Structures are given as structure tokens and as C-alpha cells.
Amino acid sequence: MTHDLSPALIERDGVIAVVRLNDLSKAVPLTEALVAGGVRAVEFTFTNPTAGEAIAAASAALGPRALIGAGSVLDAETARVAILAGATFVVTPTVSASAIELCNRYGVATTIGALTPTEILTAWQAGATYVKVFPANLGGPRYLRDVLGPLPQLKLIPTGGVDVDNAGEFIRAGAVAVALGSNLVDARSVATEDWETITARAQAIVDAVARARRPQIA
């Protein structure tokens, strides 16, 4: 899979799974379960120091069936580590111009965290592929709609507080995709290897996004 396909897939599927766990030893079967439910973009966060190993393992095992990304990337150095491990997209919690520059140099998609209109536009003008509106639960779907009013060129992905019940509202407000953490991947289900639950949640969020994208009949 080439890196330049990652933005298209993220927008087409409309869902990113954010894996923020203390134990990433089950990264491969977890990713398999998510892909089985239709979620093919999976982000392992660098809040866990073994994230690079998880990215490498999932990338090697799933090949072209999934996009494996790196989250909680704070700087260019971490972004480079993630890319060398096999990450095909990089996600930051805040605006990092150095991470954007490095990822663009290597043709790797970025989702750059921002909240205020100034931060969001700064990330976009610096070359972000997407802007992660975080934490999205502060303003909700209405906030996205308000930001996109004067800035319709932005590609926004809300993160933080997104679940199966409100994902569709964010999509209808103009989000190109949504990202979910513990509401999709929780530590208990992974620890007990309850892959059926993970797959069912993945399918439910994919379906919610698909429904929200259908033309609304007046």
C-alpha cells in the first residue's frame, strides 16, 4: 500500500480507530477485528512506548488491508520513528509544524490536533492533510458547522467524545471522518480477547457514518 492512498481511504471509510492502551501485545488480532467490522484506519498512540512495535507488527500482518497510523505524536523525531515502523498516517494532539513538515517530506498523511479557529487554520496552512478537532465534545457538531461556515475548505476530523450515537451528527455537520477511542476499543474487551464485540462496534460506527452521508429527504 502506498502512502498517498491513505487520505482517500480515511475519507472514504470515514472512521479512524484510536488505540490508547497500556498493553499493545494484541495489536494484530485487535486490528483484524476492527477491519472485519469495516474500520480500516487504525491509530496506535505513542502514549505507550511500545507503539512503534505495534505499528510494525500490524503493518506486517495486515499488509494492504488496513492503514496503520501513529497517534499522540508530539514532534518530528517521533513522527520519523513512526514512519520507519510502518505508519501510513500520523496524528498529533496539538499543532506541530515540525511534524507536518517531516510527514509531508515523506508523503505521509497527517491529522493535526487543534481546537480554536486560529489553531485549526494554522495547522491547515502549515500543510496538514486533515485537522483533528480535539476535544470535539467541548463544542459538539454545532461547533464544526460554525467553523466550516467561513472556512469551508477545511477537512475536519472530530476526536474526543465521539460515539455511535453522535458520529452521524458530526458527519452531517461537515466532518470528513470521525475518530473514536475507548468508545470503540476498550481495555477490557481487548484483554479478554472479545473480538466479536470490537467487530460489532466497528460495524455499528461504519453504518452510522454511511447513514449520515446519504442524501437527506426533505
C-alpha cell, 164 = 455511535
Give the C-alpha separation, 74 to 149, whole Å.
29
C-alpha cell, 14 = 470515514
Give the C-alpha separation, 45 to 144, whole Å.
24
Are the C-beta atoms of residues 70 and 87 closer than 8 Å to each other?
Answer: yes
Catalytic pick among 132, 169, 193, 196: 132
Residue 43 known to be catalytic: yes
Length of the chain: 218
Catalytic pick among 43, 101, 119, 169: 43
Q: How many CB atoms lie within 10 A of CB 197?
A: 15
Are the C-beta atoms of residues 88 and 69 closer than 8 Å to each other?
Answer: yes
Peptide bond into 117 cis (omega under 30): no
Residue 9 phi/psi, 5° resolution?
Answer: -70, -40
Give the C-alpha separation, 139 to 143, whole Å.
5
Are the C-beta atoms of residues 97 and 124 closer than 8 Å to each other?
Answer: no
| Per-state percent for the chain, helix, strand, coil, to nearest 5 | 50, 15, 35
By annotation, the residues acting in catalysis are: 43, 132
